[in-house]
Amino acid sequence: MSTVLPFKGLRPKSDLASQIASPPYDVLSSAEARALVKENRLSFLRVNKPEVDFPPEQSAYSEEVYNSGKKILENMISAGQLVKDNQPAFYLYQLSWLGKSQTGLVCLCSVDEYENGFIKKHELTRPQKVNDRADHMLALNTQVGPVMMTLKPNQEINRLFDKLTESVPEIDFEADDSVRHRIWVVSDADSIGSLKEAFEAVDFLYIADGHHRSESAAEVRRRLKEQNSSHHGSEPYNYFLSVIFPSDQMRILSYNRVVTDLGRLSLEELLENALENFIIEKSERPFEPLTNTEFGIYSQGKWYKLTVRDKVFDASSVTASIGSAILENCFLKTYLKIDDVRKDPRIEFVGGIRGLGELERLVDSGKFAIAFSVSAVTVGQLLKVADANQIMPPKSTWFEPKLRSGLLSHTFD
């Protein structure tokens, strides 16, 4: 059983939605975000990533920064740029990109179900990032970053989504990355009841993108529960803002890697050593792997195709057979001595949305010595890992298109 609740959404006026809506806080560096805010002072980044209004040397985790985000949010409400609905509603959020659409339910999900394993996860979280979002949430008294979740295909939910998106949406705009964003308000009692009933028949939900936001919501609940001597379990802080999409509509792109040096090896020595685990061929063009056993390497102006040899990895393991895990275990650790990709400063990660040209650019700039292209994880692989209560290899999934922040927020009033 999956609990979904309607809520009084805080959302932009329709004619301002395209200006207010912003990329998620964690897909942009502070410098990139500052550049966007300089061009558009209505950007929700000023709320969701409030260090953009401070000099680069200012700590993003200071109380002053969080309070700035709170003040900007309050000003946007006072100016009528953001308006809170008078009655609880569900919302349908549709993303359309490159000829494909995905429609999800914007709702509140239960922290209890998250902590009890009915909302499944596949990533580890870092305390600093969890505390950052928890402190931000408490300063604003509002959840402004929705968690992207998924569920296995469900005919009844698809039928309801199709029916409820036949009308004209409240919000409809195309962002500068060519993604079209549409939102419908579902406030009538019958439709709300039908959606709640359909989700009650769903055994599990799965976090797709937003593990830190989910854990931050749980941390906020822990803190506020301790402060509330009359806690009864139905307070707004017991729930967190989510968008739930059917898994067969979602799209995951590759998550590639770049490394600053080759250790003490020349490129020729590195490739010679790697023949132990891989078949290596020169590639006349940038190589984009289509299977988990293939990889591309770009270094010194040349591309190579790598195919992992049989029995080098555990093909029966749902995690060890993922492309990024094979690359990490059979190449990065073995030949470049990168034992922990989470902590080693020599490696960085490049979302597939930036393309293979970005790998070439980074290596050709001299900042990095070698780049690796990796096949995209499938949603099916992700669900298998979560169902097995295992953890995906670090930086394995890049969901696209991304949700925009600021289109719907959940206040703790």
- Check whether residue 268 and residue 362 sit in a common domain: yes
Rounded Cα distance between 27 and 264, Å, is 33
Tell me, what's the pLDDT at 394?
87
Residue 147 has pLDDT above 90, yes or no: yes
381 inside domain? no
- Please indicate, yes or no, if residue 234 is contained in any of the structural domains: yes
pLDDT computed for residue 28 by the predictor: 86
* Mean of pLDDT values over 332-357: 94
Q: What is the pLDDT of residues 187-242, one digit of tens each?
A: 999 999 999 999 999 999 999 999 999 999 999 999 999 999 999 999 999 999 99
211 and 323 belong to one structural domain: no
Instruction: Supply the pLDDT for residue 1.
Output: 85
Task: Specify the CATH number for the domain of residue 289.
Answer: 3.30.1760
For residues 295 and 306, the answer to whether their CB atoms sit within 8 Å is yes
Which residues partner with 132 through β-bridges?
A: none
Q: Write the pLDDT tens digit of every residue in 2-39.
A: 999 999 999 999 999 999 999 998 888 889 999 999 99
Same-domain check for residues 219 and 72: yes
> Would you say residue 156 has pLDDT above 90?
yes
**What confidence score (pLDDT) does residue 26 get?**
87
Please indicate, yes or no, if residue 356 is contained in any of the structural domains.
yes
Same domain, 243 and 261: no
Model confidence pLDDT, tens digit, residues 272-297: 999 999 999 999 999 999 999 999 99
Give the max Cα distance, the chain: 68
> In percent, how much of the chain has pLDDT > 90?
96
Token pair for residue 62? 């200071």
pLDDT confidence tier of residue 323, bands split at 50, 70 and 90: very high
Residues 261 and 245 grouped into a single domain: no
Is the same domain home to 361 and 331? yes
Tell whether 237 and 266 lie within a shared domain.
no
Domain assignment of residue 211, yes or no: yes
By residue range, what is the domain housing residue 13? Answer: 4-252+400-411
Query: Looking at the predicted structure, is the pLDDT value of residue 348 above 90?
Result: yes
* Same domain as 117, residue 23: yes
- Tell me how crowded residue 90 is: count the other CB atoms within 10 A of its CB: 24
393 falls within a domain: no
Q: How far is CA 364 from CA 220, 267, 301, 387, in A?
A: 44, 15, 7, 41
Size of the chain in residues: 413
In this structure, are 13 and 67 located in the same domain? Answer: yes
Same domain, 77 and 180: yes
Strand order in the sheet with 255-259: 278-283, 302-308, 294-299, 370-374, 255-259, 347-351
Kindly state whether residue 142 falls inside one of the protein's structural domains.
yes
Work out how many domains the chain is built from and give that number. Answer: 2
Looking at the domain assignment, is residue 387 inside a domain? no
Examine the domain organization and report whether 202 and 152 are in the same domain: yes
Q: Is 388 within the bounds of a domain? A: no
Q: Over the chain, what is the mean pLDDT?
A: 96
Kindly state whether residues 188 and 291 are assigned to the same domain: no
pLDDT tops 90 at residue 107: yes
